[in-house]
Amino acid sequence: MSSYPDPAELLAHRSPFLFCDEIVELEPGVSCTALWHLSGDESFFAGHFPGRPTLPGVLMVEALAQTAGLAALSDGDFSGKLPLFGGIDKARFRRQVLPGETLTLVAQLGRMSRMAGRASGIASVGGEVACEADMMFVIAEASDL
């Protein structure tokens, strides 16, 4: 049993849009490594693509953003806040991710302020890079939404 919090304890996301199943490493305010276990039963596989199911790249980037959110929100300075996407840079897709695979998500926070932040992330399967991206986000009050 992991000594790290359940991702749903930190993120506002819920099924079917919570992509981090478990945290395997966490340095609050610095970095996070999470796993997304793809069973193949996820609804997007049915239409992306029939006969050749593939995880959509945009969902890999979202999963990386959620992982960065876990790193930020685990820091007490950001508890009760909601990181929202502000931008995506240098996104590259290197490998297809298929049903039944586990995506390892690693996010490293960059410059952070009270109102915004930066992060970089790498998603991989079995040590093979599937996606990498730099991300920017704004920090909102969760109660404002």
In a domain, 50, yes or no: yes
Domain-embedded: residue 66: yes
48 in catalytic set:
yes
Tell me whether residue 61 is in a domain.
yes
pLDDT tens digits along 48-104:
999 999 999 999 999 999 999 999 999 988 888 999 999 999 999 999 999 999 999
Domain membership of residue 104 (yes or no) is yes
Active-site residue among 48, 62, 95, 102?
A: 48
Note the pLDDT of residue 106: 98
User: Is residue 3 domain-resident?
Assistant: no
Question: Is residue 56 domain-resident?
Answer: yes
Q: Give me the CATH number covering residue 50.
A: 3.10.129.10
| Each residue's pLDDT tens digit, 37-49 | 999 999 999 999 9
Residues paired with residue 82 on neighbouring β-strands, in sequence order:
140
pTM for the full predicted model = 0.95
Q: In terms of residue numbers, what domain contains 129?
A: 11-144
Residue 18 contacts residue 7 (beta carbons within 8 Å): yes
Q: Structurally, how many domains does the chain consist of?
A: 1
Residue 5 lies in a domain: no
